[in-house]
Amino acid sequence: MPTPAPPNGKEFQALVASNTTPSVRRRRPFPPPLLCVAAVALVVAAAGRALSPRQQGRVEARPGEGRPGAGTAAGGPSPAPPASLLSPANQIIAGTASGLPTAAPTAAPTAAPTAAPTSAPTAATMEDPGGPDFRWPRVAWIMSFPNSGTSYTMRLVQRMSNMTGASNYGQECDVNGTGWNYPVYDDFPDGPFWSQPSKRRLPTRYLPTKTHCGGYTTTSGPDKYLHTSRSFMVQCLTGNRIAPEFDADGNVVVARGKALSQVEKLHTFIDPSLVQRAVHVVRDPFDNVVSRFHLEQHVHEKKNDTEWMEKFPSSPDGFQAWCRDMDDANREEEQASRLLDPYLIKAFEGVPCHSEFFRYTQWHNLALATTEKMRLPSLIHHYERFEEEFDLAYNELFDFLELPRDGVMSKFIPGKKYADYFDFQQRKRAIALVKLLCEPPTWRFLERYDTYS
């Protein structure tokens, strides 16, 4: 995808001052003239070739094919796939992949769309990276920046399909009689793990599997929250499983439901070849950041931390105080970081919880890069659509995951908006920061939240 040339230093300063930042990759130098000529030659040579579905930003969303009768859900684990099916994603992690597949799409598109789709596509298909003979069920990530609607989305797909989901994180999942989590595949004990195997069966097609990837911790400075595309992808595949706990008599103590810090965990790494699709959940950045503040409140309330609760009450003033505290704590490390340039530091000014908006935008940039590199058919799922057009959003999600609709609908509770937590100028500066940080494909699905420019 072509990238507009970045402005020079004076132009950048003017843009930051006026809060009209462009959608450009930061600090990309002007290419030498010889490289420009070579690039033009490559573009001309490529003209006329049909774009791939991924280049169009499109994904496959095949509605209801016939479900196979065999598989893990019906009669034990499927046979392990041949090494040839496991190798592409493993090569990606190892850094030895030769590139994206060269096979042409089944229906070549006629033109690239002018904007990234915000719902399931209606044309062009894309094969799962494992191919048609890969094992079933197949892992479909529900990947989300924390507090962007993951809990409701997972609850909906499990209740309405009457089938279990899965998670990278064993602490959230059921354990068996010996205190261990249930791995989805017997031959892959490091996960992912069944969420509710005692209540629901596994899907026969795609298994919704929760992952938050990395770079989202609210209390961390740039040394912890800055990620490369590789480190982020590794975090998407990282999880944990619960280690058995025993009482004085040697009986197993069920650990599910405890705080993560209270459970002994074994860190795990999920085989990347198991992941075959992804639902990329997106929420309004302002509502997302405020929801993360409310999660922090919930954590401190469970600890009976009255001093913290009095300092940061559940109100717009409490939220602003929390932001100031976080911004002050990170300021010195941010200004000393060689990875945060002066123009970006300047753009932080006047943005409450500016590091939260940085984490949010970086997360979505890297989530797109991860699904791109792993060649995953992906669905961009805006959480607000459950309130705006529930039936359409719900049906697109279930079609993409090829889930049945024979359970009980999970009611969506609307109205979780936080208009009074930011003033207009704060919102204007925050969305300008998001735009500055966004890669062009990311901005195309976040632009809907820019009503302040």
For the cut 90, the answer to whether the pLDDT of residue 39 exceeds it is: no
Question: According to the model, what pLDDT value does residue 247 have?
Answer: 75
Summarised one tens digit per residue, pLDDT across range 366-404 is: 999 999 999 999 999 999 999 999 999 999 999 999 999
19 or 200: whose pLDDT is higher? 200
Distances (CA, A) of 24 to 341, 382, 434, 436, 443: 14, 23, 11, 7, 10
Summarised one tens digit per residue, pLDDT across range 331-355 is: 999 999 999 999 999 999 999 999 9
For the cut 90, the answer to whether the pLDDT of residue 305 exceeds it is: yes
Question: According to the model, what pLDDT value does residue 36 have?
Answer: 41
Cα(90)–Cα(354) distance, integer angstroms = 36
The phi, psi pair for 42, rounded to 5°, reads -65, -40
Q: What is the mean pLDDT of the chain?
A: 77
Residues 250-275 have a mean pLDDT of 71
Q: Which residue has the tokens 């941010």?
A: 334
Write down the H helix ranges in 141-202: 150-161
Confidence of residue 252 (pLDDT cuts 50, 70, 90): low
390 or 257: whose pLDDT is higher? 390
Summarised one tens digit per residue, pLDDT across range 306-324 is: 999 999 999 999 999 999 9
Summarised one tens digit per residue, pLDDT across range 168-184 is: 999 889 888 777 889 99
- With pLDDT > 70 as the criterion, what percentage of the chain qualifies? 69
Question: According to the model, what pLDDT value does residue 360 have?
Answer: 98
CATH of domain 138-449: 3.40.50
User: Which range (78-82, 275-279, 409-413) has the least confidence?
Assistant: 78-82
User: Which range (39-53, 153-167, 196-210) has the least confidence?
Assistant: 39-53
Helix axes 354-373, 285-302, angle to 10 degrees: 110
Question: According to the model, what pLDDT value does residue 245 have?
Answer: 72
Element (H, E) at 422: none
pTM equals: 0.73
Summarised one tens digit per residue, pLDDT across range 70-91 is: 333 433 333 333 333 333 344 4
